[in-house]
Structure 1
Amino acid sequence: MRGSGRIPRGERDRGQTVIEFVGVVPLILLLLVALWQCALVGYTFVLAGNAADEGARAGAAAEGGDGACRAAALHEVPSSFEGVPDCHADGTGMYRATVTLKIPILIPGVLNSYPVHGTAAHVKER
């Protein structure tokens, strides 16, 4: 018979896996949240650049370019990103567009924070 108070060798580690799993799960979730936020930052930069490019292209081709530029730029941006286009022709024959978007924090449209600027220019058609 075994001594009282001693736990058999095979049963000493019982529950250790659960404790390790519970300890690691928050770290894995934090890593997933950080990766999601990085994806949103990249997506915002791509959206801003593409919207500025489309706006500059539409503004360069249109007669009164500002309205066409704004409409084309806003058409490329989802409403949850709250795009702000700035369109103008400069004196060098180029039509420039700058689109400012705010990087969402975790969920687009809920918490938007830091602004991102996308710029583009196209030769003004005459």
Structure 2
Amino acid sequence: MSFEFVGMLPYILLTVVAVWECVLIGYAYSLAGNAADEAARAGAVHGAEACQDAADEHISGAWDMDTANCYRSGNLFKAEVTLNLPVLFPGLNLDIDIVGTGGSPNEKEE
């Protein structure tokens, strides 16, 4: 009985690591999308500088975030937030980008 368990242990651990990595990927997409939505809303109300600040506020320091791309597009204010794909935990990253996008109708008059 214990011999079979020892033989299967590497496969069990590999499965746990694969599931954990899938959870991290999904969470990273969720974080990037939420930060982009919040940044676009702040940018639509207060301008581009507020957009960047809102994106920084919604991503903790453990996640490697590039500078948010905030811009006006017609009657919308859009934001793109890019995170690097984590490996096993945030901070240990691959060079694969996860991009979240958001948009909000402009509310600031120019």
Which bin holds the TM-score, normalised by the shorter protein?
over 0.9
Contact kept in structure 2, 1:104 and 1:112, CA below 8 Å:
yes
After TM superposition, the score normalised by the length of structure 1 is 0.81
CA offset at residue 112 of structure 1? 3.6
Cα RMSD for the two superposed structures: 1.0
After TM superposition, the score normalised by the length of structure 2 is 0.92
The one of 69, 90, 105 equivalent to 1:86 is 69
* Alpha-carbon distance in 2 for matches of 1:81, 1:47: 10
Q: Does 1:66 align with 2:41?
A: no
* Alpha-carbon distance in 2 for matches of 1:36, 1:47: 16
Q: Percent identity?
A: 42
Of structures 1 and 2, the one scoring higher in RCO (CA 8 A, sep 6+) is 2
* Alpha-carbon distance in 1 for matches of 2:49, 2:40: 11
Aligned pairs for 1:1-126 (under 5 A) are 17-62=1-46, 65-84=47-66, 85-90=68-73, 92-125=74-107, 126=109
The SS at the match of 2:3 is: helix
The SS at the match of 1:78 is: coil
* Alpha-carbon distance in 1 for matches of 2:101, 2:2: 51
Give the AA of the match of 1:88: Y
Structure number with higher strand proportion: 2
Specify the structure having the higher radius of gyration (Cα).
1
Aligned length: 107
Instruction: Name the residue aligned to 1:8.
Output: none
Contact kept in structure 1, 2:44 and 2:105, CA below 8 Å:
yes
* Alpha-carbon distance in 1 for matches of 2:14, 2:99: 28
